[in-house]
């Protein structure tokens, strides 16, 4: 017993162990700070775009093509690896065959470029989320600090640090610590190693604490008011689940096929990244103009207006938002999918509520957010926990569970997993 206590005491007093802990805590705090800074920069970009739109709705017709072209050129020329959402890059570096690419994909310059270029993309009118990029940023921060941790300890393992940093990125971006942990298990790792659990939990908690300290304690989508009937299954639940599953599965299938390479003339045009991005930007601007600006930005404002204040979105909003998101991703600029997918799902819920002549679209919009995100990512547990934490609708857990099960099952019939398939491109 004395030997055990002596060993434990030496472990507590070990300079190497304390250096490991301090660097791990620093990683969690840094991810929280950067996630909040990224969120504020993204908000500023969207506010400035709205100011321009108040002057003239034609500004994006110039900004989007030029901005997408410049961002795509800079990404390919100077910051390869910063394109897309960042989650495929993170998944790739977690795999044994991708370990050699970690120094290239987790560089500090990639972190800075991803944040700045995504903000410019939002200012230009792109349908872009910041949550996927924040996963990549969090993984890169943890990986970079991990090089200073003494070798031979658990935290020195690159895979553990990338996993922990990516999970902390989700937690800090959405203010959803439980979702960050579930995301690490379900999407990034697919198998939760006991040896990695402590590192992941510590990093997620610290990132969340720092984010709350800087941004204040808040619920991402507020606290929507729903009736008691929303806690039960209904025809609307199954309709939303079905439409969300098919729509999300088709989005994933089309995205995978088009990113791999478009056919014919479009495929040859796609090889010229900057000029192809210019065309994508022009189409995104055209959609936004026809939709009176509703498809610009992350979609957070539109989704919150539906579930928070009962605003009404036309049925065409969901397909228009999905199309703008696909074009933004296809252009090759830094582009997350979480927030636009949540907004698309809210539009699906609104359309089903109109079809069924519901007095309130809020419950079905919440189900649509959960179902469509689950269908796009094929990560049902992450989608369930994210939406529950973002809306505080724990009473809706049963219809939410049914929705993610149905939508994920339908999506898997139509498409392979989006992020894991895109991660194969980096081999």
Q: How far apart are CA 24 and CA 199, in angstroms?
A: 8
1 token code pair: 């017993």
Please list the residues that pair with 336 across neighbouring strands.
129
Contact of 230 with 339, CB cutoff 8 Å? no
Q: In whole angstroms, how far apart are CA 219 and each of 8, 22, 78, 174?
A: 41, 29, 37, 8
Count other Cβ atoms within 10 Å, centred on residue 329.
Answer: 28
H or E stretch at 418: helix 418-423
Q: Which class for 288: exposed (0-12), middle (13-18), buried (19 or more C-beta within 10 A)?
A: buried
pLDDT at 189: 67
- Collapsed DSSP state (helix, strand, coil) of residue 203: helix
Residues 6+ apart with CB under 8 A from 385: 176, 178, 179, 182
**Residue 402: other Cβ atoms inside 10 A:** 16
Q: Which two tokens stand for residue 97?
A: 């065959």
Q: How is 127-170 classified by DSSP, letter by letter?
A: --BSHHHHHHHHHHHHHHHHTTSPTTSGGG-HHHHHHHHHHHHH
Q: What angle, rounded to 10 degrees, do the helices at 300-309 and 338-355 form?
A: 40
The predicted structure's pLDDT at residue 8: 45
Residue 295 — φ and ψ, nearest 5°? -95, 5
Burial of residue 415 (CB within 10 Å: 0-12, 13-18, 19+) is buried
Query: Structural domains in the chain?
Result: 18-215 (1.10.3080.10), 228-420 (1.10.3080.10)
Whole-number Å distance between alpha carbons of 339 and 128? 7
DSSP letter for 96, please. G
Q: What whole-number distance in Å separates Cα of residue 403 and Cα of residue 401?
A: 5
Q: Cα 137 to the chain's mean position, in Å?
A: 12
How much is the pLDDT for 250? Answer: 97
CB 203 within 8 Å of CB 228: no
283 touches 258 (CB < 8 A): no
* Confidence (pLDDT) at 229: 67
Nearest-angstrom CA–CA distance, 111 and 138: 9
In angstroms, the Cα distances linking 85 to 118, 132, 319, 397 are: 10, 5, 20, 28
- Rounded Cα distance between 172 and 169, Å, is 5
Between the CA of residue 34 and those of 93, 127, 142, 312, 357, what are the distances in Å? 21, 21, 12, 34, 44
Each residue's pLDDT tens digit in the chain (427 positions)? 444 434 444 455 567 777 777 877 788 888 888 888 888 999 999 999 999 999 999 999 999 999 999 999 999 999 988 899 889 998 888 887 887 888 888 888 888 899 999 999 999 999 999 888 888 988 888 888 877 766 554 444 667 778 778 887 777 777 777 777 788 777 776 544 544 556 666 777 677 667 767 766 556 666 676 776 667 788 999 999 999 999 999 999 999 999 888 888 888 898 899 999 999 999 999 999 999 999 999 998 899 888 887 788 899 999 999 999 999 999 999 999 999 999 999 999 999 999 999 888 889 999 999 999 999 999 998 899 888 888 877 788 899 999 999 999 999 999 999 999 999 887 6
Residue 354, judged by CB atoms within 10 A of its CB (0-12, 13-18, 19+), counts as middle
Distance CA 229, CA 206 (A): 38
Quote the pLDDT of residue 59: 93
pTM of the model: 0.90
Total Cβ atoms within 10 A of residue 190: 12
CB neighbours (10 Å) of residue 75? 25
């Amino acid at each position: 017993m004395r030997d055990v206590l002596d060993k434990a005491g030496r472990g507590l007093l070990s300079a190497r162990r304390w250096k490991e802990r301090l660097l791990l805590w620093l990683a969690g705090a840094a991810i929280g700070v950067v996630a909040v800074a990224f969120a504020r920069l993204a908000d500023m970009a969207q506010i400035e775009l709205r100011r321009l739109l108040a002057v003239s709705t034609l500004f994006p017709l110039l900004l989007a093509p030029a901005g997408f072209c410049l961002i795509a050129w800079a990404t390919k020329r100077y910051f390869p690896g910063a394109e897309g959402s960042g989650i495929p890059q993170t998944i790739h570096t977690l795999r044994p065959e991708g370990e050699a690419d970690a120094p290239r994909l987790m560089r500090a310059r990639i972190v800075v470029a991803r944040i700045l270029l995504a903000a410019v993309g939002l200012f230009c009118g792109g349908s872009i989320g910041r949550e996927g990029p924040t996963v990549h940023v969090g993984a890169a921060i943890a990986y970079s600090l991990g090089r200073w941790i003494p070798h031979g300890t658990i935290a020195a393992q690159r895979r553990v640090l990338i996993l922990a940093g990516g999970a902390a990125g989700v937690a800090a971006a959405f203010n959803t610590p439980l979702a960050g942990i579930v995301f690490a298990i379900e999407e990034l790792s697919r198998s939760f190693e006991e040896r990695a659990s402590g590192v992941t939990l510590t990093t997620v908690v610290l990132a969340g604490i720092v984010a709350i300290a800087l941004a204040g304690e808040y619920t991402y989508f507020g606290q929507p008011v729903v009736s008691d009937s929303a806690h039960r299954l209904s025809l609307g639940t199954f309709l939303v689940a079905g439409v969300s599953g098919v729509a999300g599965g088709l989005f994933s299938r089309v995205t995978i096929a088009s990113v791999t390479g478009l056919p014919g003339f479009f495929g040859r045009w796609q090889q010229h990244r900057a000029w192809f991005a210019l065309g994508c930007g022009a189409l995104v601007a055209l959609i936004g103009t026809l939709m009176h600006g509703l498809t610009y930005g992350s979609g957070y404002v539109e989704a919150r207006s539906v579930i928070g204040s009962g605003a009404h979105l036309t049925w065409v909003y969901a397909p228009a938002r999905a199309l703008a998101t696909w074009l933004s991703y296809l252009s090759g600029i830094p582009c997350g999918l979480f927030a636009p997918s949540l907004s698309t799902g809210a539009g699906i819920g609104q359309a089903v509520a109109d079809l069924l002549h519901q007095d309130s679209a809020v419950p079905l919009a919440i189900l649509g957010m959960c179902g469509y995100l689950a269908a796009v990512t094929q990560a049902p547990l992450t989608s369930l926990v994210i939406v529950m934490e973002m809306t505080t609708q724990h009473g809706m857990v049963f219809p939410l569970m049914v929705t993610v099960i149905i939508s994920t099952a339908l999506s898997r019939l139509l498409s392979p997993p989006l992020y894991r398939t895109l991660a194969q491109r980096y081999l």
